[in-house]
Structure 1
């Protein structure tokens, strides 16, 4: 992963730079192994449907992400036999959500 892969990470992120590729790899792994669908609800709201078996992984990962990037809001709901993960950001961080959506789409395609 090059530093360009992380150009969209805002300055508010308190995760040390050296740990960011590892965190992104964890998201990529979740996208590849558990992501079923992705829907953009609005410019600031993304909805993922995940395999319910990924609930603990999703809760752990999103909990750690909120700890370093407090502008995220993650809401996990069990809905119609799938795990629904809603991701929201303030308007000033739409580019971060766009980047996550692109990574998720690439993971589903893998």
Structure 2
């Protein structure tokens, strides 16, 4: 994979070689299960996922939280995934939400 991931901050501890694969996992989650999106503000996005995504989303956000501590993921029972970042990392949320299917 040769995708430009220059938007991934140095705060991410996932090895560089593994980053494209993680991005691909998010892309797959979004492609298969995303129902709607709401960019609440510069630091917050709320994604509504199909309930069948529960196990996949739980696993992915647990692993992502380990390497990118600046993300806060909250997954509610209705399968809304709230993603928040501190002000210094809004560009990362911008890049992630830019990958959402339109």
Partner of 1:69: 68
Distance 1:41 1:14 in 2: 27
What are the residue-to-residue correspondences of 1:1-110 with 2, within 5 Å?
1-4=1-4, 6-79=5-78, 83-104=79-100, 108-109=101-102
Separation in 2, partners of 1:68, 1:102: 21
Q: Which runs of 4+ in 1 moved over 4 A?
A: none
Shift of 1:3: 4.7
Q: Residue 57 of structure 1 aligns to a residue in which SS?
A: helix
- What's the offset of the Cα at 1:42? 1.0
SS at 1:40 equivalent: strand
**Structure 2 unpaired stretches of 5+:** none
Normalised by the size of structure 2, how large is the TM-score? 0.96
Task: Give yes or no for contact 2:34–2:47 (8 Å, CA) kept in 1.
Answer: yes
CA distance in 1, matches of 2:33, 2:53: 6
Superimposed CA distance per residue, residues 43-97 of structure 1 (whole angstroms, 9 cap, x where no aligned partner): 1000000000001100100000010000000000023xxx100000000000000
TM-score, L = length of structure 1 = 0.89
CA shift, 1:2, in A, is 2.9
